[in-house]
Amino acid sequence: MTTAERKYPAPAVNPEIKPFFDAAAQGTLMLKKCAACGQSHFYPRAICPYCSSDRTEWITASGRGTIYSYSVMRRVPVPYAIAYVTLEEGVTMMTNIVDCDLDAIRVGHRVKVVFKPTDGGPPVPMFTPA
């Protein structure tokens, strides 16, 4: 386990995504759910990517999920793990697995959301073993 800390760049925030980062600043993970077809999705969009309805609503996610796939980046100053995490709500998000032994990460492991500060922007959601 490395003791060095990675720096995270500030995410680009626009009106469509601002509620997501406002919630992130409060420690809450939000998703979008479509009132027309019932599907949840990530990255949050105003228009449903499944049925093109504009009846999308913000929902609060549990913040819990499982690792669907991952890769550890080692040829960088501070190694890190990039991953796809499937949330209990059924959506899969690209993220990082943090605050753990990178060699102990496995597909199917249970994880929970943590929010990491960024360089001058809102915190971003990442995941750590549950």
Distance CA 101, CA 1 (A): 5
| Minimum distance of Zn ion from residue 54's CB (angstroms) | 9
**Closer by beta carbon to Zn ion, 37 or else 46:** 37
Among 23, 30, 48, 98, binds Zn ion (CB under 5 A): 48
Contact between 59 and Zn ion per CB under 5 A: no
* Torsion sign over Cα 38, 128, 17, 50: negative
| 33 neighbors 87 (Cβ within 8 angstroms) | no
**Closer by beta carbon to Zn ion, 34 or else 113:** 34
Contact between 31 and Zn ion per CB under 5 A: no
φ, ψ dihedrals at 59, nearest 5°: -130, 155
Please give the residue ranges that form the binding site for Zn ion (CB under 5 A): 34, 36-37, 48, 50-51, 53
